[in-house]
């Protein structure tokens, strides 16, 4: 069997698509994923593929101009959006989903308030980009603007998008966004959700840095004190 070019990146894209399908963030062919392969190449899911069944050989590889350099299938119709994120934000991976809760809230909110400190990984509040037709330069433009200072955004009446330095983090952010949307929806069903103000958000950042939040470390012995 001939070894795939860009095998690592194509495998990352295929595995991410299958995981997102298992998690319920994508269904059928709706959604797309990409990973930066080199300074001038990007591995990206193909248009029309069933994401739950995607395999590395189906993943397309394009250059930064969007021209196919490896693979037999056309890349996603949202290729322009992916390319724009790589150019403007120097991302390592991009995940676009039609996650049900995020999509639902994108139909009614102008932005998702910061209702939990975990959302600071997304930039705090999450903007909702105005609606534009899928696969168009107009959609890419409004989403790119919405992502300014953020690592995730909702797309009005469409879905959600997240980017990160690597695929694992991009998938985690997509999952975090859907979780945050679910928390907000459940809170809003009971009453008016409270949100974290700027002072509270900064306190979280300070505490996380001081405590090494999110990383494991050896336990201290009883005689170490502190």
Catalytic residues: 78
The answer to whether 179 and 97 have CB atoms below 8 angstroms apart is: no
The answer to whether 140 and 155 have CB atoms below 8 angstroms apart is: no
Residue showing tokens 């790589």: 86
CA–CA distance, 35 with 67 (Å, rounded to integer):
15
CA–CA distance, 112 with 128 (Å, rounded to integer):
7
H or E stretch at 83? helix 79-89
DSSP string covering 26-80, please? -BTTB-EEEEEEETTEEEEPBTT--GGG--GGG-EEEETTS-EEE-SSPBPTTHH
Q: How many CA atoms lie within 13 A of 219 on its CB side?
A: 2
- Residue 75: name the closest of 85, 87, 67 by CA: 67
* Entry field: residues in the chain: 226
Phi, psi dihedral angles at 22 (to 5 degrees) = -60, -35
Cβ neighbors of 209 (< 8 A, separation 6 or more) are none
């Amino acid at each position: 069997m001939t070894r795939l070019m860009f095998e690592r990146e194509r495998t990352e894209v295929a595995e991410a698509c299958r995981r997102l399908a298992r998690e319920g963030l994508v269904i059928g062919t709706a959604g797309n994923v990409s990973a930066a392969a080199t300074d001038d190449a990007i591995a990206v899911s193909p248009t029309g593929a069933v994401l739950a069944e995607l395999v590395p050989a189906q993943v397309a590889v394009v250059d930064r101009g969007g021209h196919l350099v490896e693979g037999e299938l056309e890349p996603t119709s949202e290729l322009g959006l992916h390319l724009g994120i790589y150019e403007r934000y120097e991302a390592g991976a991009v995940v676009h989903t039609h996650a049900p809760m995020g999509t639902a809230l994108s139909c009614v909110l102008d932005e998702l308030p910061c209702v939990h400190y975990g959302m600071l990984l997304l930039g705090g509040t999450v903007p909702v980009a105005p609606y534009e037709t899928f696969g168009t330069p107009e959609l890419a433009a409004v989403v790119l603007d919405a992502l300014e200072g953020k690592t995730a955004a909702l797309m009005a009446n469409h879905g959600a998008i997240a980017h990160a330095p690597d695929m694992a983090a991009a998938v985690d952010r997509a999952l975090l966004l859907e979780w945050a949307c679910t928390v907000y929806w459940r809170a809003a069903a009971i009453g008016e959700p409270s949100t974290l103000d700027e002072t509270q958000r900064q306190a979280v950042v300070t505490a996380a840095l001081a405590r090494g939040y999110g990383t494991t470390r050896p336990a201290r012995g009883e005689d170490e004190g502190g």
